[in-house]
Structure 1
Amino acid sequence: MYRDRPHPVRLADYRPPEFLIERVDLTFELDEQVTTVHALLEFSRNPAATRGDGSLTLDGEQLELIELKLAGQTLTPAEYQLEAEALRIHRVPDRFQLETQVRIHPNRNTALEGLYQSGPMLCTQCEAEGFRKITFFLDRPDVLSRFRTTLIADQDRFPVLLANGNLVSETRLPAGRHQVIWDDPFPKPCYLFALIGGDLSVVEDQFRTCSGRDIGLRIFVEPHNLDRCGHAMQALKKAMRWDEERFGREYDLDLYMIVAVSHFNMGAMENKGLNVFNDKFVLASPDTATDEDFQGIESVIAHEYFHNWTGNRITCRDWFQLSLKEGFTVYRDQEFSAEVGSRDVQRIADARFLRNHQFPEDAGPMAHPVRPDSYIEINNFYTPTVYNKGAELVRMQACLLGPELFRRATDRYFERHDGQAVTTDDFVRCIEEVSGRDLAQFRRWYAQAGTPYLDIEADHDATRHLYRLRIRQWTPPTPGQPVKEPLHLPFALGLLDDQGRECPVRLEGDVQDQPAGTRVLELRELETEICVLGLRTRPVPSMLRGFSAPVKLRYAFTNADLIHLMRYDRDGFCRWDAAQRLQERLLLRLTQDPTTLIPDDVVAAFRDALRDPATDPALIAELLTFPSESYLADQLDVVDVDGIHRAHRQLASHLGTHLNDDLMAAYAHNQDPAPTEVTPRAIGRRRLKNRALALLMAVDGAKVFNLCQTQFETADNMTDTLAALRLLVDHGGAAGDAPLQRFYERWSQVPLVIDKWFSVQASSCREGTVERVRGLMAHPDFSLRNPNRVRSLIGALCHANSVQFHAADGSGYRLLSDVVLELDPLNPQIAARLLKPILSWRRYDAGRQAQMRRELARVLETGELSADVYEVASKALDTVPEQAESS
């Protein structure tokens, strides 16, 4: 068991740093086995801090101290204290220079934090607290410094040497070595430091900013990947132009660099001027990447670029404010994706992610506010709550203000806080000042955990032409927060008449006529009544248009209401939500009773959607995509794993049978004349075609099976190839093994495609999948040291395959705990993230509860644990969430 229970870090304990570091000069002598780091740091006492005892404590882990000088004088051991995670110097003046020299070992760094080896190159990852594994420092985001970095290495092994900022000089040295110096003119926290050394090729381009400056753009990759960078480069240029036009943000350095690495714990990192990316989010060609990959690259490239202002030029004061940069930047990348693609489809993707990932987090033992109160390991708080719910908080403020006022407010934020480390309160204060609004109640969103519910009742008075909505909001208790206060949220409302026409939302007290369409109302109270005037007939309400707030809405829609919304609502999110509600209702009934009849009018509604030529094919595909099995599990008091999976299959088979002709027509009509094109229209057509094929494959039949085999064998893009392969593996039994083998033989030399090969097998609902995954862990291409490979195999089983992972014999749970215990000493971040599917163990039947609890206990009781894994596992076992309120 974890021997020394780690102490939590608390927001209430925040104090400004006693010292600041004005200038940092770093010299690296790079080598995979032993790298020497010389640091020259210029310190000054922080006038904003309370004066301490005259000592200085620096963070440092896994560092071998070689030399320590204060003001040019070597310190004796009596003048400092070296600990496992800190260096304490007993007496320092108000201003001074400190020199340190340390040794580190990149090839031993399997945690991928600090400086580590990724294949043939050396790279860094310093967020959140990795810089302390490079040199002794004040490793906190509110210490901003100017960095100058000198890199020295063997020129044959490391011909490319990169760091933040602008290139100063390149010099050849004796004995086949060379030296490169970089200087970053912008102060930054050390978590934004980066360096790269390796044998890399580069794709170059240029971007002219709105003020006429030419920016050099460079993407560095291993030489054999050079031909797969074009999409990433075009995405970068689109993001740069969009940020200038939408937010007025121009790039500031003369050079913007991206490096793709194969071993990376996250998607990418926004280091100033030198972004380091998981190669999954850079490399793409139609034959090796799916449409989802192309869209992911575009989104992540934009996200990291947007961080240049929302994260780099303005950063967070402390890690409790992480959403200040991540929530705002996710909002920005979502808006970018909506404008370059389909706004409706993007908003559906945002809502689906929240429902499938963030809402369950809010309901579990790891529930925390967007601005957490405490943490044991900050790596565990890079969560959907901080990122995606944080983005929704920004979106709600934008919705409350409208586009013009919101742009003025963000302009003020950028102007006022440029070069500073600030808080979410500083952001909201700019919104308040520009809008003249009091957002004190809105701030509760940042401090209060949990997903709010809106319970809504409606009645229509035909005599008075009055339509009344009664809305009650409440939030279930979460760990540490048993009592919740009402929140301030935008409620976007539309009303449709019986012909599907939009009605005006005219309220008592309105001084002017209201146009038909959406009206954004504001909810602040526990109970609110909305009275709409002038409605002769009962309307069908279209609520939370655009998913205007991250809440759960409960209203007694009839099937007829939902079908009406599916057919006529002009809001894409509400059309999709109506389809989801219909499907959820049927699936939950089928889970409980497999003999449940599926109404003909519901089938007809989906037939109408398939036949609608005016609707984006991508939106039709969304209407035909069922709520996930994990989402349905969250709707049940006791999860029926097998019943949910059976219901999914049953509904798919029913629609596949009764919509056969229309699905066949959709499949044929959406055969793409340009199959390698990645425009929104082409992506939508492929998405609908492959959803139609999936529903058809749910019905046993040689004709469709042959159709699927033909697609697999003849497709010339990875989207269609992989869609067919998944269906053949899932539905073909042993017949799916031959396509798997052919796929592997063709793509065995492309690691990102082999990730897909692992994932297809781990996510298959075929019996024996857990045993198959165990076998694949011994495959020569699998390694626990590669996060992408772990996610593609273990992550796919645990996070994307409910029916096999939650097998009644507990084999999935045993595999997970075995992997976590083996992985934790190597990479604690990835190990801790893998545990999340069993955190909600209390919601399963008694047998599965006992087995999940047993495996969590085994993790806690076996050997030394990282703080990452200890925090997640202990909270899962120690915390007993309050029961949610029911209505």
Structure 2
Amino acid sequence: MYSLKAAMEWGEDVFGLEYDLDLFNIVVVPDFNMGAMENKSLNIFNSKLVLASPETASDADYAAILGVIGHDYFHNWTGNKVTCRDWFQLSLKEGLTVFRDQEFSSNMGSRTVKRIGDVSKLRNYQFPQDAGPMAHPVRPHSYIKMDNFYTVTIYEKGAEVIRMYKTLLGNQGFRKGMDLYFKRHDGQAAGTPVVKVNTSYNAEGHTFSLKISQEIPPTPGQSDIPLSSIYHNGALQPVSSSGQSVSTTILRVTKKEEECVFTDIFEKHVPSLLRGYSAPIRLQSDLTEDDLFFLLANDYDEFNRWEAGQILARKLMLNLVDDFQNNKPLVLNSNFVGGFKRILTDSSLDKEFVAKAINLPGEGEMMNLMEVADPDAVHIVRSFIRKQLASELKSEFLSTVENNKSSGEYVYDHSNMSRRALKNVSLTYLASLEDQEFTDLALQEYNTATNMTKQFAALASIAQNPVKIRDDVLADFYEKWQNDYLVVNKWLLVNFHAKDGSGYEFMGDIVLQLDKINPQVASRMVSAFSRWKRYDETRQKLAKAQLEKILSSNGLSKNVV
């Protein structure tokens, strides 16, 4: 009810949209394919996205509930009162509603952290979809089963298109356009670009130039189309470590190649580009490591500060993967440690942002950047960096854990959630050292936990290392929560893995079993094989064998085909 009332209030305040009925019903179903369904005045939700208590739900669960409740309430206007002319326009309601729920969650917590999460999802799931056999435009041209239209391209990339309109029109212009949209249509039916930026500074002419080129790589299985106008916010932000005033510019790029020249620039600046990630593109620039470290330390745009750190981390990890594959010793860049420490110890930063900023890029994200994905090398390198950071910043991590402990009752608000997030990430780093002192610290956190956020974070910290206490704690957690399937799902996240390739066969068998009783879910699960050609020859053979087994099965649904 808290989420629903907050969404109703936000919808009125931000979009001027009131609920038009006197009654709003919520139905909760344990086994429901979709997260939710926005039937008029009768919203149906999967119980995972409604039922929560501090003992069984983490901060992330509460945030997900807030977003999904908001999303499906917002559909009352963008989906129900103004609906789609046909299925091909699905993103008009879903992309727009995702944008609205993203803005809602941003206003309820940290805007930067929410943006980081949304962009990470886009890059880790939608970009690979754009680059793989499942690629399709935001407005698809055809389909076999409509059920398969509910994709990250329709939802998340569609939301980014809406966000670009807001960037170009400004807050007032966007609101004016939305008001007209609702007034006019109430009751009616209605490839990832690559942008390269090179910088140059003319000391004699006092000019700073951005040379911008853009292209859209061909989408597999689709004919080439002319390059249409691409809009993105390329903001020239002269960042100053001395705190002097700065200026921001929105660049509207409409040609394949353009040059933007800024005059009266009396020293070379470091540009902060694509601030807030204002367009769903792959940005390539000639910024040096020194430039990126400067942005990491000084950028006023927290998203770009996080982005600079992530670019540095990705470069570092890819270099170390190459070293590992060539049997070279792994050595951590001291500048990276220094930049990492500066973020960790900066008390002026929002704690939830710091928790995000000190997280290394995920293994899946790194494999998306490799020509031939090597899961083993990526895992070893990521573990090495995490342990080295924990070792060199041991005292900083320990003080962060101690300073952010709380013995009070669980409260879900930004202040408490931020504190817990930073403490838990720091604990995970310390526990990676396999030092008895920090294993005991994690165990104490686990045993004294009065909420799931604290308990599960401690469990995950302990579970990352092959120590004896790991099996004991995993068994204890399962024994305590075995009758709560939502919590058992969390337990599986830290307990299930297979290195021998049996996971491919397991997934293939499950897809075939599910297809007979629930084709929608089976089709989502088979998408796990969509990137099989990115792996080494051995893994390719394992995955291909399962795909062939699935495809040759009698009675296969159109969803899975």
Q: What's the TM-score once normalised by structure 2's chain length?
A: 0.97
Task: Decide whether the 8 Å contact of 2:239 with 2:298 is kept in 1.
Answer: no
Task: Decide whether the 8 Å contact of 1:368 with 1:385 is kept in 2.
Answer: yes
After superposition, where does 1:73-92 map in structure 2 within 5 Å? none
* Corresponding residue of 1:617: 351
CA distance in 1, matches of 2:363, 2:229: 30
**SS of equivalent residue, structure 1 residue 542:** coil
Asked if 1:603 is matched to 2:337, the reply is yes
Task: Decide whether the 8 Å contact of 1:287 with 1:717 is kept in 2.
Answer: yes
Task: Decide whether the 8 Å contact of 2:239 with 2:300 is kept in 1.
Answer: no
Aligned-pair distance for 1:483?
Answer: 2.5
Equivalent in 471, 475, 483 of residue 737 of structure 1: 471
Equivalent in 47, 56, 61 of residue 288 of structure 1: 56
Equivalent in 823, 831, 850 of residue 522 of structure 2: 831
CA distance in 1, matches of 2:409, 2:475: 24
Task: Decide whether the 8 Å contact of 2:340 with 2:358 is kept in 1.
Answer: yes
* Corresponding residue of 2:19: 251
User: What whole-Å deviation, never above 9, does each CA across 1:351-397 have from its counterpart, x for those lacking one?
Assistant: 11101111111111000000001111111120010000000000100
Task: Decide whether the 8 Å contact of 2:36 with 2:72 is kept in 1.
Answer: yes
* Corresponding residue of 1:573: 303
Equivalent in 466, 469, 475 of residue 210 of structure 2: 469
* Corresponding residue of 1:373: 141
Equivalent in 434, 437, 445 of residue 700 of structure 1: 434
**SS of equivalent residue, structure 1 residue 402:** helix
* Corresponding residue of 1:419: 187
Aligned-pair distance for 1:718?
Answer: 0.4
Largest Rg, 1 or 2: 1
Q: 1:497 to 1:410 in 2, by over 3 A?
A: closer
* Corresponding residue of 2:285: 555
Task: Decide whether the 8 Å contact of 1:358 with 1:384 is kept in 2.
Answer: yes
Aligned residue pairs, count: 556
Q: CA RMSD in A?
A: 1.4
Unaligned runs of 5+ in 2: none
Task: Decide whether the 8 Å contact of 2:193 with 2:216 is kept in 1.
Answer: yes
User: What whole-Å deviation, never above 9, does each CA across 1:200-252 have from its counterpart, x for those lacking one?
Assistant: xxxxxxxxxxxxxxxxxxxxxxxxxxxxxxxxx01111110110111111111
Q: 1:706 to 1:256 in 2, by over 3 A?
A: same
Aligned-pair distance for 1:534?
Answer: 1.6
* Corresponding residue of 1:493: 235
Asked if 1:719 is matched to 2:461, the reply is no
Unaligned runs of 5+ in 1: 1-232, 423-449, 504-515, 763-768, 771-806, 871-887
Aligned-pair distance for 1:716?
Answer: 1.1
Task: Decide whether the 8 Å contact of 1:261 with 1:279 is kept in 2.
Answer: yes
Aligned-pair distance for 1:557?
Answer: 2.3
Q: What's the TM-score once normalised by structure 1's chain length?
A: 0.62
CA distance in 1, matches of 2:211, 2:55: 53
CA distance in 1, matches of 2:56, 2:241: 47
**AA paired with 2:8?**
M
Q: 1:497 to 1:833 in 2, by over 3 A?
A: closer
After superposition, where does 1:527-542 map in structure 2 within 5 Å? 527-542=257-272
CA distance in 2, matches of 1:492, 1:303: 29
**AA paired with 1:334?**
Q
Aligned-pair distance for 1:631?
Answer: 0.9
CA distance in 1, matches of 2:119, 2:460: 25
**AA paired with 1:289?**
A
Q: 1:580 to 1:675 in 2, by over 3 A?
A: farther
After superposition, where does 1:411-810 map in structure 2 within 5 Å? 411-422=179-190, 450-484=191-225, 485-497=227-239, 499=241, 501=243, 516-594=246-324, 595-674=329-408, 676-762=410-496, 769-770=497-498, 807=499, 809-810=500-501
Task: Decide whether the 8 Å contact of 2:504 with 2:542 is kept in 1.
Answer: yes
Task: Decide whether the 8 Å contact of 1:576 with 1:623 is kept in 2.
Answer: yes
CA distance in 1, matches of 2:164, 2:290: 30
Aligned-pair distance for 1:675?
Answer: 5.1
Task: Decide whether the 8 Å contact of 2:135 with 2:219 is kept in 1.
Answer: yes
Of all paired residues, the percent bearing the same amino acid is: 43
User: What whole-Å deviation, never above 9, does each CA across 1:486-523 have from its counterpart, x for those lacking one?
Assistant: 432122413234536567xxxxxxxxxxxx33221111
Equivalent in 530, 540, 546 of residue 849 of structure 1: 540
**AA paired with 2:505?**
R
* Corresponding residue of 1:868: 559
User: What whole-Å deviation, never above 9, does each CA across 1:589-637 have from its counterpart, x for those lacking one?
Assistant: 1111132432212111111111111100111111111111111111111
Q: 1:502 to 1:365 in 2, by over 3 A?
A: farther
CA distance in 1, matches of 2:166, 2:407: 40
**Does 734-743 or 648-657 show the bigger shift?**
734-743
CA distance in 2, matches of 1:592, 1:482: 36
**SS of equivalent residue, structure 1 residue 677:** coil
CA distance in 2, matches of 1:465, 1:254: 63
* Corresponding residue of 2:81: 313
**SS of equivalent residue, structure 2 residue 271:** strand
**AA paired with 2:85?**
R
**AA paired with 2:20?**
D
**Does 742-751 or 534-543 show the bigger shift?**
742-751
Task: Decide whether the 8 Å contact of 2:240 with 2:298 is kept in 1.
Answer: no
CA distance in 2, matches of 1:850, 1:688: 41
CA distance in 2, matches of 1:567, 1:674: 34
**SS of equivalent residue, structure 2 residue 233:** strand
Aligned-pair distance for 1:693?
Answer: 1.0
CA distance in 1, matches of 2:38, 2:183: 21
Q: 1:684 to 1:592 in 2, by over 3 A?
A: same
Task: Decide whether the 8 Å contact of 1:500 with 1:564 is kept in 2.
Answer: no
User: What whole-Å deviation, never above 9, does each CA across 1:776-799 have from its counterpart, x for those lacking one?
Assistant: xxxxxxxxxxxxxxxxxxxxxxxx
User: What whole-Å deviation, never above 9, does each CA across 1:769-821 have from its counterpart, x for those lacking one?
Assistant: 33xxxxxxxxxxxxxxxxxxxxxxxxxxxxxxxxxxxx4x4311111101111
CA distance in 2, matches of 1:689, 1:604: 20
Greater strand proportion? 1
Q: 1:367 to 1:265 in 2, by over 3 A?
A: same
**AA paired with 2:3?**
A
Aligned-pair distance for 1:715?
Answer: 1.1
**SS of equivalent residue, structure 2 residue 383:** helix
Aligned-pair distance for 1:730?
Answer: 2.2
Equivalent in 129, 146, 153 of residue 385 of structure 1: 153
Aligned-pair distance for 1:476?
Answer: 1.1
* Corresponding residue of 1:430: none
* Corresponding residue of 1:813: 504
**AA paired with 2:362?**
S
**SS of equivalent residue, structure 2 residue 106:** helix
Aligned-pair distance for 1:658?
Answer: 0.8
Aligned-pair distance for 1:674?
Answer: 3.6
User: What whole-Å deviation, never above 9, does each CA across 1:505-544 have from its counterpart, x for those lacking one?
Assistant: xxxxxxxxxxx33221111111111111122221111111
Task: Decide whether the 8 Å contact of 1:255 with 1:273 is kept in 2.
Answer: yes
**SS of equivalent residue, structure 2 residue 349:** coil
**AA paired with 2:534?**
R
**AA paired with 2:488?**
I
CA distance in 2, matches of 1:841, 1:626: 24
Q: 1:591 to 1:728 in 2, by over 3 A?
A: same
**AA paired with 1:818?**
D
**AA paired with 1:299?**
G
CA distance in 2, matches of 1:470, 1:688: 39
